[in-house]
Amino acid sequence: MERMQDQQPAAAATRVAVVLATYNERANLERLLPELLALALRPQVIVVDDGSPDGTAQVVREWTQREPERVTLIERPRKAGYGSAFVAGFRRALESDVDVVVSMDADYSHDPQSVPALVERLAAGCDLAIGSRYVGGLRILNWSMRRLLLSSCANQYVKLLLGFKVTDCTSGFRAYRAEGLRAIPLEQAHSQGYAFLVELLEAVTRRRLTVAEVPIVYTERREGHSKMSKRVIGEAVLRPWAILLARLGKAKA
CB 129 within 8 A of CB 99: no
CA 120 to chain centre: 16
CATH of the domain at 189: 3.90.550.10
The mean pLDDT of 77-100, rounded to a whole number, is 94
The tens digit of pLDDT for each residue in 220-236 reads 755 555 555 667 677 77
Determine, yes or no, domain membership for 253. Answer: no
Work out how many domains the chain is built from and give that number: 1
Determine, yes or no, domain membership for 252. Answer: no
Out of 7-11, 61-65, 80-84, 228-232, least confident range: 7-11
Output the pLDDT for position 222. Answer: 59
Report the alpha-carbon distance of residue 28 to residue 187 in Å, rounded.
30
Q: pLDDT grade, residue 154 (50/70/90)?
A: confident
Residue 53 CB-density burial (10 A; 0-12 exposed, 13-18 middle, 19+ buried): exposed
The tens digit of pLDDT for each residue in 8-28 reads 444 447 899 999 999 999 999
Kindly compute the dihedral angle of the four CA atoms of residues 44, 112, 216, 92, in this order, to the nearest 10 degrees: -20
Output the pLDDT for position 6. Answer: 39
Q: pLDDT grade, residue 64 (50/70/90)?
A: very high
Q: What is the DSSP letter of 138?
A: -
Question: 210: which residues sit within 8 A by CB, 6+ positions away?
Answer: 125, 126, 127, 128
Neighbouring-strand partners of residue 141: 219
Domain extent for 40: 2-247
